[in-house]
Structure 1
Amino acid sequence: MTVRVTLSAPDGIGEVGAGDDLAALVLAHCDLADGDVVIVTGKVVSKAEGRLRAGDRTASLPGETVRVVARRGPTVIVRNHLGLTMAAAGIDASNVAVGHHLLLPEDPDRSARRIREQVALRAGHNVAVLVTDTAGRAWRTGQTDICIGAAGLRVTEDLAGLTDPHGNPLVVTAPAVADEIAGAAELATGKLGGRPLSVLRGRPDLVLPAGEAGPGAAALVRGEGEDLFGLGAREAVVQALAGGAGHVFGAPAAAEDLAAALDRVLPGALLPSDGSDLRLQVTGPEAESRTALRMLAHAFGWLVSEDPRSADGAATLRLRPSTP
């Protein structure tokens, strides 16, 4: 069996402005059939929704930022209001008039739903719609497009529980097909070609029935605290030293994980457990030991308290998870 998937991106769209009807543009320029996936760049969605702003993009960055993840020179990686972790919150100053910048769509999933609904209403086609944007990758150079908004598409394929041709069980395999489609679409649209629309044909199995919007691209975003790399390496050290509030490292770690770390950093300090807590005997320079302990406790999501000192003045510190 041969699987054929095609991508087409029409020319002649022209400049998009505030208030433009994106569904009308899709229908005017794209040859559609049921089961197609329509891909729209986030840039034209932002333009149509009036997200163009005057001035340098740094002026808009604070309002789009939930928290800073990392800084490296002029580059600021932040988690924005959509839950996306991106350079400059995804604010873009390319393909707009000099002295202006674009914010990401306020709700890309909603934007995708509107286009899908209007295409169905006006032309009767059951298509999925994706809104895309460009993002970097933590461990690879260069950028690729990702899906930031979706309607009518199964954004992931859950293969857990199946077996491969060799009989090996698939445990957590879940291809992010929405991101794969977004990245492939950029091959057709390009960055400088003036082709903000594209259509993928050949995967109708991913398109949901008419009237079903699906989970949207929001389902691809890890919840706050679930990311193993919630802070940059430097920022994690600073936060641990400063004893910052909140745990961006997820739920409290298992006691055995923290105990292993304590044994590496403060060898010999761990005392036999008298329950679910961990106990340590402070040895050596007490201030230095307390600092190291506070950093570890913060990183692992545990809290530190002190038992009453013994008759000889020895300090015993107790650690417990920050949440039950």
Structure 2
Amino acid sequence: MTLELFGLKKIPLVKKGDDIAKIIEDDLKEEDIQLENGDILLIAETLISKAEGNIIKMDDVEVSDKAIEIAEKCKKDPKIVETILQESNEIVAVGPNFIVTETKHGFVCANSGIDESNVEDGLATPMPENPDKSAKEIREYLEEKYQKEIAIIITDTQGRAFRVGAIGTAIGCSGINPLWVRIGDTDLYGRALETTEVATADELAAAASLLMGQADEGIPIVLIRGFDAFNILRDTETGIKPLLRPKEFDVFRK
């Protein structure tokens, strides 16, 4: 298998009300790229939040007593802490300069996914309200336009327990099942796999993140071509939920 990754270089700075699907269409045309069956487009979540107007003005944030208390522990700006609390279902842990929460979507991550990078001063972007819905709408538009079967994955950058450094992670998807259950397949010696499940959407997000970068690269959308398991995982109904470990099986929160 040979994977090809293309960073879309002509994506403009996005503002509220912009049509991401149309922006992708225009970029593909300008770069003379034709979508093919099995193509996967990975889109940085900040792009979706900005287009959907899901932006927080920090001057408008009213700080609660709880936010002030937590801010003293983690040494973060109380206003940022307040936005983190508002975007969370539960606080999992508080550490030096970070707060691990369960977001309203069910993701367990640092700072509820609040992002202060790649937006103007005084603003922050939470995760999109419904990344699966956003991914589906973009996929359906592009599939209708190009008459090809594709997938859309919305990505975020998150840290991992016990590992240093951030990595690209999938927070929404459409057109592909994010989890590849390999139970029953055989290894090189013919033994049946008993527990193997692959977080395919996360692996694709991590690959795309190498091109997206974390600073001023200006590549918020990456096209991945040549993923052989696309047809196996083709799924227009399932979103990101299969990747979320049920709380009762999360041994770190017991």
Matched residue, 2:204: 181
Q: Is 2:26 the partner of 1:28?
A: yes
Q: Which amino acid aligns with 2:94?
A: R
For residues 84-103 of structure 1, the aligned pairs below 5 Å read: 84-103=107-126
- Alpha-carbon separation, structure 2, partners of 1:140 and 1:226: 21
- SS of residue matched to 1:60: helix
Of 43, 55, 59, 1:52 maps to 55
Q: Which amino acid aligns with 1:46?
A: S
For residues 153-168 of structure 1, the aligned pairs below 5 Å read: 153-168=176-191
Matched residue, 1:131: 154
Matched residue, 1:235: none
Q: Which amino acid aligns with 2:23?
A: L
Deviation at 1:209, TM superposition (A): 9.2
- Alpha-carbon separation, structure 1, partners of 2:180 and 2:99: 32
Does 1 or 2 have the higher relative contact order (CA < 8 Å, sep 6+)?
2
- SS of residue matched to 2:248: coil
1:209–1:86 CA distance, 2 compared to 1 (3 A): closer
**Partners of 1:39 and 1:197 within 8 A in 2:** yes
Of 20, 34, 44, 1:41 maps to 44
- Alpha-carbon separation, structure 2, partners of 1:81 and 1:12: 32
Deviation at 1:125, TM superposition (A): 2.3
What number of residue pairs does the alignment pair up? 228
Q: Is 2:193 the partner of 1:193?
A: no
TM-score (norm 1): 0.67
Deviation at 1:17, TM superposition (A): 0.8
Of 2, 23, 29, 1:4 maps to 2
Deviation at 1:99, TM superposition (A): 1.0
Q: Which amino acid aligns with 1:15?
A: L
Report the more deviating stretch, 24-33 or 139-148: 24-33
- Alpha-carbon separation, structure 1, partners of 2:155 and 2:107: 12
**Partners of 1:36 and 1:207 within 8 A in 2:** no
**Partners of 2:180 and 2:233 within 8 A in 1:** no
Which consecutive residues of structure 1, in runs of 5 or more, have no partner in the other structure?
231-248, 250-324
- SS of residue matched to 1:15: coil
- Alpha-carbon separation, structure 2, partners of 1:182 and 1:123: 23
Deviations 1:100-134 (A, max 9, x none): 10010011111100100111122222210000001
- Percent same amino acid at aligned positions? 32
**Partners of 1:126 and 1:209 within 8 A in 2:** no
Q: Which amino acid aligns with 1:22?
A: I
1:165–1:208 CA distance, 2 compared to 1 (3 A): closer
- Alpha-carbon separation, structure 2, partners of 1:101 and 1:226: 32
**Partners of 2:177 and 2:233 within 8 A in 1:** no
- Alpha-carbon separation, structure 1, partners of 2:189 and 2:49: 47
- Alpha-carbon separation, structure 2, partners of 1:77 and 1:185: 24
Report the more deviating stretch, 58-67 or 112-121: 58-67
- Alpha-carbon separation, structure 1, partners of 2:107 and 2:153: 16
- SS of residue matched to 1:57: helix
Q: Which amino acid aligns with 1:203?
A: F
Deviations 1:169-191 (A, max 9, x none): 21111111100000000112212
Of 59, 68, 89, 1:66 maps to 89
- Alpha-carbon separation, structure 2, partners of 1:26 and 1:71: 39
Matched residue, 2:134: 111
Which consecutive residues of structure 2, in runs of 5 or more, have no partner in the other structure?
59-78
Q: CA RMSD in A?
A: 1.6
- Alpha-carbon separation, structure 2, partners of 1:116 and 1:219: 19
Q: Which amino acid aligns with 1:195?
A: I
